[in-house]
């Protein structure tokens, strides 16, 4: 037992009417008197939902967390929050990330818990739980659900998302039959868990471990491996110790921790979505982090993880090669080894005696998959507040490119015209998609990796420069410029691009320029009118009117900041 008065004792301690009410109602679940004797109350924040397939196994996983809490002398109490599943939720799960974070924040603050275990898996569940918990700053730890087993199709390994995009383009090009395409569906998702490519789900599981917010091994153990259940139990034990030590999120999520995570993202070939999520988490906890830091800390870090979509292998292979500790050990010279983690040890301590069991999967830096990994932050008159590109997923020959714009005003416009044989487009063109940013979609959907025109696919073209204010799936690939800020719907320069305008991309110089003179842009801007809002009223209306731009993390403006966990007023 701890000598420090626990937060939960403000509810359960004492012999007055209020304590009587709180304890009495809890006892209807069969809790004994000594459940309230001062032991730490651990909230288990569960994003289970059958509409969120990545997290559908959490009913079983949470039992291992509870056993760990009980092992350590704590009282585990599970609570649900909004589960924003990536695969089913429309118009995009990103629209609801901030809503889920509000649910998490208020559930933590308003309930008698001393610490919290955050059960996350699917893409947006991880950042939403981290954001909500960061605004409260209680002792908190993450357990991810883990990736699926490797996909299998016609005797070969296939990756979730990544091979979907490839197969879809091959069908459109006429080089894959629709029957084979449909047959691949059953082999793609073979077990519980999230995407087994380095998509956004795997990336965010990697990020929480790199940030020090999860125990070593969290990123890669498959969902169905017994070690995932074992890790969940150890997570339950550790959160009780964190409460007794009063180890809070703000002590872990330092600038050094974010710098480490950005460098790890570069080495892993992580998703571009990590950019908006880490910026939003930093904004909640109060750590200074900017878009420029993604370029500052990630530049010069080679991508050494040979994993789809940048490479060949999948998360199961990464796990048995040594997982994230082995990858971090390969780039240890770039990391702040003194950063503290929720394990109670530093990064350096966690990397002691770590081994790389497969240098084909986790390559040594001398055999990097991509010498210049990370996220390239681009600036210029087309994106004065920044845009991003993932070099490890791009075509080297297109990293410096000029071409004439082919403009689509919306995703519906794009889908209606992209396969029109009369569309004036060639392999040197630059596809431009407008009005798909935070406000414009709304929610900044993953539509930035636009499909290529059918007539070019039939000629063998497999990549083109594409630019938008949207996001793209972490499982996707190509020379794709994303998150252009300000977005088109907010009056950004992207809204002023016209068919035939020349756009110059220079990734090494970090430039993105629309080759139209300032006077002409001023004339176009004077004629521009904002498109009508796609949402009024309800949460979506609130979102549209308060969401910040991508370079700030696309959080709602009134949610930024650490509001703490104190609730001084009684409920009765």
| Structural domains in the chain plus CATH codes | 39-150+190-366 (3.40.50.2300), 151-188 (no CATH), 379-536+542-546 (3.50.30.80)
Q: How far is it, in rounded angstroms, from Cα 460 to Cα 216?
A: 44
Is 507:394 a contact under the CB 8 Å cutoff?
Answer: yes
At 2 the pLDDT is 45
Tens of pLDDT, residue by residue over 205-241, are: 999 999 999 999 999 999 999 999 999 999 999 999 9
Half-sphere exposure of 287 (CA within 13 A, CB side): 23
Q: How far is it, in rounded angstroms, from Cα 412 to Cα 427?
A: 22
At 514 the pLDDT is 98
In 3D space, the residue among 162, 532, 149 whose CA is nearest the CA of residue 311 turns out to be: 162
At 3 the pLDDT is 63
Dihedral-angle region of residue 36 (phi above 0 means left; psi in -120 to 50 means alpha; beta otherwise): alpha
Q: Is the peptide bond before 234 cis (omega within 30 degrees of 0)?
A: no
Q: Which two tokens stand for residue 98?
A: 């901030």
Q: Is the peptide bond before 519 cis (omega within 30 degrees of 0)?
A: no
- Residue 371: partners with Cβ closer than 8 Å, 6 or more residues away: 302
Is 45:129 a contact under the CB 8 Å cutoff?
Answer: yes
Q: How far is it, in rounded angstroms, from Cα 369 to Cα 72?
A: 43
Q: How far is it, in rounded angstroms, from Cα 544 to Cα 139?
A: 32
pTM here is 0.96
Is 552:483 a contact under the CB 8 Å cutoff?
Answer: no
Helices (H), 286-410: 291-298, 315-321, 323-330, 347-350
At 536 the pLDDT is 83
Dihedral-angle region of residue 498 (phi above 0 means left; psi in -120 to 50 means alpha; beta otherwise): beta
In 3D space, the residue among 126, 105, 114 whose CA is nearest the CA of residue 47 turns out to be: 126
For residue 77, list its beta bridge partners. Answer: 43
Mode of pairing for the β-strands spanning 151-153 and 115-120: unpaired
Q: Scan for tokens 């901030």, then name that residue.
A: 98
At 217 the pLDDT is 97
Is 310:302 a contact under the CB 8 Å cutoff?
Answer: no
Is 46:144 a contact under the CB 8 Å cutoff?
Answer: no
User: With a cut of 70, which residues of the chain have pLDDT below it?
Assistant: 1-3
At 535 the pLDDT is 80
Dihedral-angle region of residue 217 (phi above 0 means left; psi in -120 to 50 means alpha; beta otherwise): left
In 3D space, the residue among 96, 90, 161 whose CA is nearest the CA of residue 127 turns out to be: 96
Write a three-state SS string for 386-446.
CEEECHHHCCHHHCEEEEEEEEECCHHHHHHHCCCCCCCCCCCCEEEECCCCCCCCCCCCC
């Amino acid at each position: 037992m701890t000598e420090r008065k626990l937060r939960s004792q403000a509810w359960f301690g004492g012999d007055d009417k209020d304590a009587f009410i709180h304890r009495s109602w809890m006892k209807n679940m069969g809790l004994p008197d000594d459940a309230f004797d001062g032991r730490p109350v651990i909230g288990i924040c569960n994003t289970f939902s059958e509409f969120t397939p990545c997290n559908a196994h959490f009913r079983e996983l949470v039992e291992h967390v509870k056993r760990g809490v009980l092992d350590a002398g704590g009282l585990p109490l599970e609570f649900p929050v909004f589960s924003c599943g990536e695969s089913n939720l429309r118009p995009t799960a990103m629209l609801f990330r901030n809503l889920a974070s509000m649910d998490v924040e208020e559930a933590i603050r308003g309930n008698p818990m001393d610490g919290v275990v955050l059960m996350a898996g699917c893409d947006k569940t991880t950042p939403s739980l981290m954001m909500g918990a960061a605004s409260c700053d209680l002792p908190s730890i993450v357990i991810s659900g883990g990736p699926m087993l490797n996909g299998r199709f016609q005797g070969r390994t296939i990756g979730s998302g990544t091979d979907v995009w490839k197969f879809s383009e091959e069908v459109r090009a006429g080089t894959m039959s629709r029957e084979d395409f449909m047959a691949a569906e059953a082999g793609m998702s073979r077990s519980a868990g999230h995407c087994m490519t380095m998509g956004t789900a795997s990336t965010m599981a990697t990020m929480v471990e790199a940030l020090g917010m999860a125990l070593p091994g969290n990123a890669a153990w498959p969902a169905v491996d017994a070690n995932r259940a074992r890790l969940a139990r150890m997570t339950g034990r550790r959160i009780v110790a964190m409460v007794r030590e009063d180890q809070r999120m703000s002590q872990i999520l330092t600038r050094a921790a974010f710098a480490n995570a950005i460098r790890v993202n570069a080495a892993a070939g992580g998703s571009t979505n990590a950019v908006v999520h880490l910026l939003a988490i930093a904004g909640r906890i109060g750590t200074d982090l900017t878009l420029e830091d993604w370029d500052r800390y990630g530049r010069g870090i080679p991508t050494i993880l040979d994993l789809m979509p940048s490479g060949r292998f999948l998360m199961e292979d990464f796990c048995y090669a040594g997982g994230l500790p082995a990858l971090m050990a390969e780039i240890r010279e770039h990391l702040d080894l003194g950063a503290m983690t929720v394990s109670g040890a530093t990064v350096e301590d966690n990397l002691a005696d770590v081994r790389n069991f497969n240098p084909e999967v986790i390559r040594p830096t001398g055999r990097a998959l991509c010498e210049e990994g990370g996220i390239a932050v681009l600036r210029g008159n087309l994106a004065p507040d920044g845009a991003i590109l993932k070099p490890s997923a791009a075509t080297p020959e297109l990293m410096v490119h000029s071409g004439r714009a082919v403009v689509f005003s919306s995703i519906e416009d794009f889908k209606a015209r992209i396969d029109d044989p009369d569309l004036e487009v060639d392999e040197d063109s630059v596809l431009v998609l407008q009005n798909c940013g935070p406000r414009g979609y709304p929610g900044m959907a993953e539509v930035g990796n636009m499909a290529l025109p059918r007539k070019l696919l039939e000629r063998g073209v497999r990549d083109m420069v594409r630019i938008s204010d949207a996001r793209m799936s972490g499982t996707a690939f190509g020379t794709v410029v994303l998150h252009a800020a300000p977005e088109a719907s907010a009056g950004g320069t992207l809204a002023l691009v016209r068919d035939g305008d020349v756009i110059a991309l220079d990734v090494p110089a970090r430039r993105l320029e629309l080759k139209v003179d300032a006077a002409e842009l001023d004339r176009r801007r004077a004629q521009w009118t904002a498109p009508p809002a796609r949402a009024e009223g309800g949460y979506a209306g609130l979102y549209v009117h308060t969401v910040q731009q991508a370079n700030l993390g696309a959080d709602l403006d009134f949610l930024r900041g650490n509001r703490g966990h104190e609730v001084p007023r009684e409920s009765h």
